[in-house]
Chains A and B, each alone.
Chain A
Amino acid sequence: MADIAGQKARLTWAINISVVALVLLWTIPTFGLLVSSFRDADQIANSGWWQALFAAEKNVIFRSAPGDAQIQDASGYKITGNLFDGSDGSVLAFGVSSKAPTEYLPGETGEMTRNRQMTVESNGDYVISSPEPIKSRRGIRIFATIQEPPKFTLDNYEKVLFSEGVGRSFLNTFTVTIPATIIPILVAAFAAYALAWMNFPGRALLIAAVVGLLVVPLQMALIPLLKLHNEIGIGKDYLGIWLAHTGFGLPLAIYLLRNYIAGLPREIIESARVDGATDFDIFRRIILPLSFPALASFAIFQFLWVWNDLLVATVFLGNNEEQLVMTGRLRELLGSRGGDWEILAASAFVSIVVPLFVFFSMQRYLVRGLLAGSVKGG
């Protein structure tokens, strides 16, 4: 008995550890980018995000104060100052020329040309002394390897929102998403009711057609519809993309809602009919309120799908600066700011935050919709 209990405890441990490993594998990629979006641009480029909490080491070229700042004393001329100018940091090594940028340790004295001497302390204080007056308007170069404390900042977000056009794109995405989520629901709900509770010839065929249309690849629709939109003058317009998303979302909407509405108890609907209610009344007073969970499921699906869509937006809205949506902006930044991870990370998070919020706050409906939509063969 004890043996079995021991085995069970060990198994529970093994399971817990495996799940921790899985969860880490699935969250670390996102977490890494999240951390990076708050880091200083220089630090991102010089150390991995997992070192974000530790001091970062880097090589920098400083310039001393200009020649005007020199003072004269008994031994000659001097320029003094501090490399960090008030911020934290420490010097690990320094040099006087680009050929040997780490020649000296802090506190040592480096020999320069023209009999000048340079001393840099680890706290960043430097002294450059010279027997002759120093003629340098831009200051003298000081090569140093320094250690900087971790820097976290909101600058990246400020930058992408206000000067990289991400803020504008964020609004554009809302403009696209909300009508494209709401409009298909109504159209689909009426159709779903008819397919679930009305008798007419060809009903089974229509349901089969909806199931078939569920998987039609979008790629099929792009060229013919773009031509059509261009002909009627809504080629690169919000109206065009709303209609397109409505069309592409409709099969799933009808399918989900029909399954749900068909499952409502027959007695409620029949007794309303006996009481003389018309189909329109039944739909409005009984079906719509009772179908709320299914409507919510579809709304979340459609919202996430439209928000995250790149293909339909690129084709039906285009890439002009005024109308670019978040996904399009991210793609553009990947091209133009490929190595600037502080820009990419912050932009990516601005685009991810809304779907993540919807996801975590309404996960219940999302899961329910997924189950209704695919267990039955979608």
Chain B
Amino acid sequence: MRGGIVMNQILLAFSTIIIGVFGCVAYFYFSNLLLDRAYPAKGPNAGRNINRANAIRPWLFLGPAIAILSLYLVYPVVNSVWLSFHDASAEKFVGFDNYIWMIKDAKFQESMLNNLMWLIVVPGASTFFGLIAAQLTDNIRWGNLAKSLIFMPMAISFIGASVIWKFIYDYRGEASAEIGLLNALVEMFGGTPEAWITLDFWNNFFLMIVLIWIQTGFAMVILSAALRGIPEETIEAAILDGASPLEIFLKIKVPQIWGTIAVVWTTITITVLKVFDIVLAMTNGQWGSQVLANLMFDWMFRGADSGRASTIALVIMLLVTPIMVWNIRNARKEMR
């Protein structure tokens, strides 16, 4: 019986892949064929036909993508704005009630404050460690192996990482031996073991460590490529002038990769604004560790209030917007 269900599921998945892939290919193939038939590139009107076909064809290529993007990313933004002005079940218009509630809500204030702390600590720390790891591993023979190992947490899910770190922070109480690494170390150095993730305020930092652990590898990989791209001559000149390795790193290398550092910083900033799984798994926002994304999730599921949840989602969107604008401007500059 169970085997049957599983088989069905696998069949369903494979048929979807086949239907999806064939559907895509068929759409592109036949729509192009149709266009070529409608405006054949021969006969008396060949020139005009080619022009017309060329004007239409890009939209055939873009059609599915634009449709999906509009439905899955653009429409929700508009709809969320609408929802934020309506009540819990999206039936009655309530004006700015949700916004007023939000500003006064203690949990929201706590989330904003915590998100702010995350924003200050995590991108900075990840970029800092990433830069150090990149510089150090570029100079040794087993650097690539070391890089792989530091990069590895990137492949682990946030929830898997939360299990890994929850085990490190584990607290057993006074009667039994500590099996969490952190408490064992604390005990070894004569301290008192604590239930770290329930410590008001400080627990935020224990959660941040998880994300820093994951994101450092990302920062390292990108910064390492940037460091390698620095022209040799600038470094050689500095060596001839008698600069120490530290001076070369701080005064010659780092200033040349500011652009990349900024990109790494902003990319991690966006990840931080959306951080959700770690908080959900470690504390679920208890003990003063709530963040916006988890608060939104809470109001969506437990609160079943689409108005309030959408309002919180819009705040996250608003916080991301400056980076979005900055990215678009950079992309446009590059294309010119």
Interface residues of A (CB under 8 A from B): 11-12, 15-16, 18-19, 22-23, 26-30, 32-33, 36, 44-50, 168, 171-172, 174-175, 178-179, 182-183, 186-188, 190-191, 193-195, 198-200, 203-204, 206-225, 227-228, 238-239, 242-244, 246-248, 250-251, 254, 278-280, 283, 304, 307-311, 315, 322, 326-327, 330-331, 334, 341, 344-345, 347-348, 351-352, 355-356, 358-360, 363, 367, 370-371, 374-378
In the complex, what residues of B have CB within 8 A of residue A182's CB? Answer: 17, 20-21
12 A-B residue contacts at CB 8 Å?
A: A23-B149, A26-B152, A48-B179, A216-B317, A217-B293, A217-B320, A223-B310, A243-B72, A250-B72, A341-B170, A355-B157, A375-B260
| CB within 8 Å for A224 and B69 given contacts A19-B137, A322-B5, A352-B160 | no
Number of interface residues of B (CB under 8 A): 120
Structural contact, A178 and B177, CB atoms closer than 8 A: no
Structural contact, A215 and B270, CB atoms closer than 8 A: yes
Nearest-CB distance from A234 to chain B (Å)? 12
Structural contact, B21 and A19, CB atoms closer than 8 A: no
| CB within 8 Å for A307 and B157 given contacts A26-B216, A220-B317 | yes
Report the nearest B residue to A175, measured CB to CB. Answer: B13
Structural contact, A375 and B167, CB atoms closer than 8 A: no
Q: Would you call B117 an interface residue if the criterion is a C-beta within 8 Å of the partner chain's C-beta atoms?
A: no
Structural contact, A32 and B139, CB atoms closer than 8 A: no
Q: Would you call B12 an interface residue if the criterion is a C-beta within 8 Å of the partner chain's C-beta atoms?
A: yes
Structural contact, A48 and B184, CB atoms closer than 8 A: yes
* A367 vs B222: C-alpha distance when bound (angstroms): 8
Structural contact, B166 and A251, CB atoms closer than 8 A: no
Grouping DSSP codes into helix (H, G, I), strand (E, B) and loop, the B interface class, with mixed when no group exceeds half, is helix
In the complex, what residues of B have CB within 8 A of residue A345's CB? Answer: 163, 167
Q: Would you call B334 an interface residue if the criterion is a C-beta within 8 Å of the partner chain's C-beta atoms?
A: yes
In the complex, what residues of A have CB within 8 A of residue B83's CB? Answer: 223-224
Q: Tell me the chain B residues, 286-319 only, with Cβ under 8 Å from chain A.
A: 293, 296-297, 300, 306, 309-310, 312-314, 316-317
Q: Would you call B186 an interface residue if the criterion is a C-beta within 8 Å of the partner chain's C-beta atoms?
A: no
Nearest-CB distance from B322 to chain A (Å)? 10
Interface residues of B (CB under 8 A from A): 2, 5-6, 9-10, 12-13, 16-17, 20-21, 24-25, 28-29, 32, 36, 54-55, 57-59, 61-62, 64-66, 68-69, 71-77, 79-80, 83, 90, 129, 132-133, 136-137, 139-140, 142-143, 146, 148-160, 162-168, 170, 176-181, 184, 213, 216-218, 221-222, 225-226, 245, 260, 263-264, 267, 270, 273-274, 276-277, 280-281, 293, 296-297, 300, 306, 309-310, 312-314, 316-317, 320, 323-324, 327-328, 330-332, 334-335
| CB within 8 Å for A47 and B163 given contacts A178-B17, A187-B68, A216-B317 | no
Nearest-CB distance from B170 to chain A (Å)? 8
| CB within 8 Å for A190 and B64 given contacts A204-B332, A219-B313, A220-B76 | yes
- Residue picked from B24, B263, B314, most chain A C-beta under 10 Å: B24
* A123 vs B153: C-alpha distance when bound (angstroms): 45
Nearest-CB distance from B222 to chain A (Å)? 6
Structural contact, A187 and B24, CB atoms closer than 8 A: yes
Nearest-CB distance from B249 to chain A (Å)? 12
**CB within 8 A of B69: which of A178, A194, A251?**
A251
Structural contact, B62 and A219, CB atoms closer than 8 A: no
Structural contact, A247 and B168, CB atoms closer than 8 A: no
| CB within 8 Å for A376 and B331 given contacts A220-B314, A223-B300, A348-B163 | yes
Structural contact, B157 and A352, CB atoms closer than 8 A: yes
* A132 vs B154: C-alpha distance when bound (angstroms): 69
Report the nearest A residue to B67, measured CB to CB. Answer: A187
| CB within 8 Å for A247 and B157 given contacts A47-B177, A204-B332 | no
In the complex, what residues of B have CB within 8 A of residue A375's CB? Answer: 222, 225-226, 260, 263
Structural contact, A27 and B152, CB atoms closer than 8 A: yes
Structural contact, B12 and A238, CB atoms closer than 8 A: yes
Nearest-CB distance from A327 to chain B (Å)? 5
Nearest-CB distance from B317 to chain A (Å)? 5
Report the nearest A residue to B260, measured CB to CB. Answer: A375
**CB within 8 A of A308: which of B80, B156, B216?**
B156
* A203 vs B312: C-alpha distance when bound (angstroms): 33
In the complex, what residues of A have CB within 8 A of residue B143's CB? Answer: 19
Report the nearest B residue to A209, measured CB to CB. Answer: B69
Nearest-CB distance from B270 to chain A (Å)? 5
Nearest-CB distance from B254 to chain A (Å)? 16
In the complex, what residues of B have CB within 8 A of residue A326's CB? Answer: 157
Report the nearest A residue to B296, measured CB to CB. Answer: A219
Report the nearest A residue to B210, measured CB to CB. Answer: A29
* A18 vs B264: C-alpha distance when bound (angstroms): 23
Nearest-CB distance from A165 to chain B (Å)? 11
In the complex, what residues of B have CB within 8 A of residue A315's CB? Answer: 300
In the complex, what residues of B have CB within 8 A of residue A26's CB? Answer: 149-150, 152-153, 213, 216-217
